[in-house]
C-alpha cells in the first residue's frame, strides 16, 4: 500500500489545503494529514481544534486520516511507516522555504521524499494567515474555507 503525508499547521485548514489533500487522495491509497503543533507560532486555533476542523473537512475522503504531531516531521514519518510527503506549492515565494525544508528533511532521513503539487489556479494566493486576517477584520472568507471552518471563525 502506498501512503503519503500531507503536513501543515492548518490554522485553519482552507480550500487550498483541501485541494491538495483531495488530489493526493486520488493518487495514493492512504493519506495522513499531519497537523503540526508548530512550536514558536502562536496559533489562532489550538492543536486539537485544528485537527478537529481538518477531520470534519476531510470526512468525505475515505482514505484520509488526520493525526497530530509535535517535533520533527521525519520522526512522525518514521513512526507512521511513511517516507513520502506531499506539499502544495503556490506562488514563487513558497519555493525557497520548501526547497530548504525538503533538503534538510532528506539529510535527516535519506529515504524521505518531498513531492510538490502545484496549487490549483483559484487557490494560488490563498493562505491560512490571510483567512485569519479576513476573519479578524470583518472581511469575507466563506468561499475560501470548508463550512465547519467558517462556522468556527464566526464563533471566535
Q: Give the chain's largest Cα–Cα span.
A: 46
Q: Which of 7, 16, 88, 146 is in the footprint of ligand PNS by CB under 6 A?
A: 7
d(CA 147, CA 155) in angstroms, rounded, equals 13
What string marks each residue from 73 to 112 as x (binds ligand PNS by CB under 6 A) or -? x---------------------------x--x--------
125 is known as an active-site residue: no
d(CA 44, CA 84) in angstroms, rounded, equals 28
Catalytic residue, chosen from 17, 23, 50, 132, is 17
Catalytic residue, chosen from 50, 90, 119, 132, is 90
Asked whether 84 and 117 are in contact (CB, 8 A), the reply is no
Using rule CB under 6 A, residue 8 touches ligand PNS = yes
Smallest Cα–Cα separation from 101: which of 91, 116, 90?
116
90 is known as an active-site residue: yes
Q: Which residues are catalytic?
A: 17, 41, 90, 128
Amino acid at each position: 500500500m502506498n501512503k503519503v503525508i500531507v503536513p501543515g499547521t492548518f490554522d485553519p485548514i482552507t480550500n487550498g489545503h483541501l485541494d491538495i489533500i483531495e488530489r493526493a487522495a486520488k493518487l495514493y491509497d492512504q493519506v495522513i494529514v499531519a497537523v503540526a503543533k508548530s512550536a514558536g507560532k502562536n496559533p489562532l486555533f489550538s492543536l486539537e481544534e485544528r485537527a478537529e476542523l481538518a477531520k470534519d473537512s476531510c470526512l468525505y475522503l475515505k482514505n484520509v486520516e488526520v493525526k497530530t504531531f509535535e517535533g520533527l516531521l521525519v520522526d512522525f514519518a518514521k513512526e507512521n511507516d511513511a517516507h513520502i510527503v506531499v506539499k502544495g506549492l503556490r506562488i514563487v515565494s513558497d519555493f525557497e522555504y520548501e526547497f530548504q525544508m525538503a533538503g534538510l528533511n532528506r539529510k535527516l532521513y535519506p529515504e524521505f521524499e518531498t513531492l510538490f503539487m502545484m496549487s490549483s489556479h483559484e487557490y494560488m494566493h490563498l493562505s491560512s494567515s490571510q483567512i485569519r486576517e479576513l476573519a479578524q477584520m470583518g472581511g469575507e472568507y466563506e468561499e475560501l474555507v470548508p463550512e465547519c471552518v467558517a462556522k468556527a471563525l464566526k464563533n471566535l
